[in-house]
Structure 1
Amino acid sequence: MNRFDRQYILNGFGIDGQKKLRNASVLMVGAGGLGCPALLYLAAAGVGRIGVIDGDIVNVTNLNRQVLFGEKDLGKNKAEQAVRHFQEKYSDINWEIFPEFLTVQNAQELIADYDLVIDGTDNFPTRYLVNDACLLHGKPFVFGAIYQHEGQVSVFNLGEEGCNYRDVHPEMPGPNEIPNCAETGVLGVLPGIIGNLMALEAIKVLSGYGEPLKNRMLYFNSLTSQTYEVELMPKKSSSAPESWSVLENTDYQQACGAVKEMTWKDAMGKMNQNVAFVDVRELDELPPLVCTGLMKIPMSVLDSQLDKLEDAEQILIFCQSGMRSQKAAQVLSETYPDKAIFSIKGGINDLKS
């Protein structure tokens, strides 16, 4: 008897299916609301080698859905803490930790080393980067996303005539066309459900058991507990980069209309310089921040007070979670295209953690 006994005896899966999982490798991009539950079941199922890449740190607002973390993990890197959780549970998995973000500089080398990629991110630039890198490597990837009460799952780039993400969304949207859960909210159980479905799809692809969601998108509504599927069709032409040199020279952040971001650590290092710190929260939002060069310009009146920032050499913008500050940075970048304008990543929530 061993911990995979209940999988061995499953009709059609058997020892061969388990051996395939044991010999397989998965790269999890993002150890957040989707990545945490997916990792739980990939590890439990016995995938032999799992890499986790995430440059973000745990903050207190993550804890309602990122179930691998607790209060003791606040301020620590997500990839490192996620892997540490599993190293204490399972000795038969080869874990690899990448405490960084996926970029055009590291995507080729990282993705080449794995059989399958799971995209657990929540932003469009990384999503398109994962898709394009997997296309160039000929690797399948499992996609999942959530928005308020709905989640969706699919498997892209799987075998011949398999759809890729650009077949569904050819044009890169702006960063604020679809807000993430920091702005719209989410019940923690929804990413748990979608993350588990992503793990299921990965296990099917790796083991050859069942029918993966190739050329199909599964939708789940958490308010009604209803699901439905939409058939996807691969397109003959694609806007994806045709070579690694093209990919490495693509600015995915800029292509998606994203603004530049800065961490609080780097922002605080700019104190006493000619830098405007702009708080775009409403006047009654807590906690307050006291710092050199602070200006309170609520998002609701920003358009009428743009002239207040005319003399600043650099503008660093923050809000509660980092979403409104991105929108404000876009507005200011259009008004002052020659200024260095940054949104402070994670907002006050990250500073508190």
Structure 2
Amino acid sequence: MLSRKELQRYSRQIMLPQVGEEGQQKLSAAKVMIVGLGGLGSPVALYLAAAGVGELHLVDGDRVDISNLQRQVLYKTNHRDKPKAQVAAQQLAAANPEIRLQAHPHMAEESWLQDMVPEMDLVLDCTDNLEIRHTINRVCRDAERPVIMASVRGFSGQLVSFDFSSAPSPCYSCLFPPRDQQEVQNCSTAGVIGPALGIIGSMQALEAIKLLLGLPLASLGKLQLFEAETLELRSLQLQRDNGCPVCASSE
């Protein structure tokens, strides 16, 4: 049962028929891992904390840099040189002291993910590192845990989710095979417009809340493509690749 304080804090979403008290209890019971606390992870973490997701695991091995502040809205100038995961936990605790926060100030190594991911209800990939993204994909498929992935370069954003706990699903490697990948530029080499990260990160958080509530996801097995210059949003249905080594190894 929700406490009086929870009923007050979350009243505006509890009144929604898609949420209600039962849905809020689902959110409060959920354990979610956010990997990457930069331009995407900042809005994701803020919205999930505000919505009352009960336990957030915050994973990032970087420290706050002055160049981050143009887009990473969790951080302030006085946070320079401090570990992002720890600063993020402090900021989110100030925003919502009713939730549980675990800071993990290190990179998401595969062996560590293999231990942690099975304990989660959902993983959100908010990184800009292609190798880590493929690692997250493999671990979530093996652990049969859903994952929501997003990225932004310049003015262009992508969002896709996979639920490996249900029927046979494509995975990130079906979409972008590791063997075909060239070196991909990130924000530090290609540049990025801040509000595009805010839009895609908000979409990622929205899909996360919907998944935890048991609502249909528009990004499930579909690649959502957003162009900030034109505000155009396109959707591409994904198919499982019969030659995908990740899918084959999990069968």
Q: TM-score, normalised by structure 2?
A: 0.92
Moved segments of 4+, more than 3 Å: 172-175
Amino acid at match of 1:123: N
Q: Which residue of 1 aligns with 2:106?
A: 100
Shift of 1:217: 1.0
Shift of 1:3: 1.3
Question: Does the CA-based 8 Å contact 1:27-1:53 persist in structure 2?
Answer: yes
Question: Does the CA-based 8 Å contact 1:144-1:154 persist in structure 2?
Answer: yes
Paired residue secondary structure (1:106): helix
Question: Does the CA-based 8 Å contact 2:50-2:95 persist in structure 1?
Answer: no
Shift of 1:17: 1.3
Question: Does the CA-based 8 Å contact 1:215-1:234 persist in structure 2?
Answer: no
Matched, 1:45 2:51: yes
Q: Which residue of 2 aligns with 1:227?
A: 233
Q: What is the alpha-carbon distance in structure 2 between the residues aligned to residue 157 and residue 12 of structure 1?
A: 20
Q: Which residue of 1 aligns with 2:3?
A: none
Q: Which residue of 1 aligns with 2:31?
A: 25
* Inter-CA distance 172–195: structure 2 relative to 1 (3 Å threshold): farther
Highest Rg: 1 or 2? 1
Among candidates 153, 159, 170, match of residue 177 of structure 2: 170
Unaligned runs of 5+ in 1: 244-353
Among candidates 228, 236, 242, match of residue 249 of structure 2: 242
Question: Does the CA-based 8 Å contact 1:123-1:175 persist in structure 2?
Answer: no
**Which segment drifts farther, 86-95 or 26-35?**
86-95
Matched, 1:160 2:196: no
Question: Does the CA-based 8 Å contact 1:162-1:214 persist in structure 2?
Answer: no
Among candidates 63, 66, 80, match of residue 57 of structure 1: 63
Shift of 1:242: 3.1
Write the mapping of 1:142-153 to structure 2, written as runs, cut at 5 A: 142-153=148-159
Shift of 1:204: 0.9
Paired residue secondary structure (1:145): strand
Q: What is the alpha-carbon distance in structure 2 between the residues aligned to residue 209 and residue 135 of structure 1?
A: 21
Q: Report the RMSD for the aligned CA atoms in angstroms.
A: 1.5
Amino acid at match of 1:43: A
Question: Does the CA-based 8 Å contact 1:149-1:223 persist in structure 2?
Answer: yes
Write the mapping of 1:107-118 to structure 2, written as runs, cut at 5 A: 107-118=113-124
Question: Does the CA-based 8 Å contact 2:152-2:196 persist in structure 1?
Answer: yes
Among candidates 11, 21, 29, match of residue 15 of structure 1: 21
Among candidates 77, 83, 90, match of residue 89 of structure 2: 83
* Inter-CA distance 197–136: structure 2 relative to 1 (3 Å threshold): same
Q: Which residue of 2 aligns with 1:124?
A: 130
* Inter-CA distance 173–34: structure 2 relative to 1 (3 Å threshold): farther
Unaligned runs of 5+ in 2: 1-6
Indicate the structure with greater helix content: 2
Q: What is the alpha-carbon distance in structure 2 between the residues aligned to residue 242 and residue 162 of structure 1?
A: 14
Q: What is the alpha-carbon distance in structure 2 between the residues aligned to residue 8 and residue 194 of structure 1?
A: 24
Amino acid at match of 1:180: N
Shift of 1:175: 5.8
Aligned residues: 242
Q: What is the alpha-carbon distance in structure 2 between the residues aligned to residue 145 and residue 76 of structure 1?
A: 24
Q: What is the alpha-carbon distance in structure 1 between the residues aligned to residue 123 and residue 39 of structure 2?
A: 16
Shift of 1:172: 4.2
Matched, 1:68 2:83: no
Paired residue secondary structure (2:185): coil
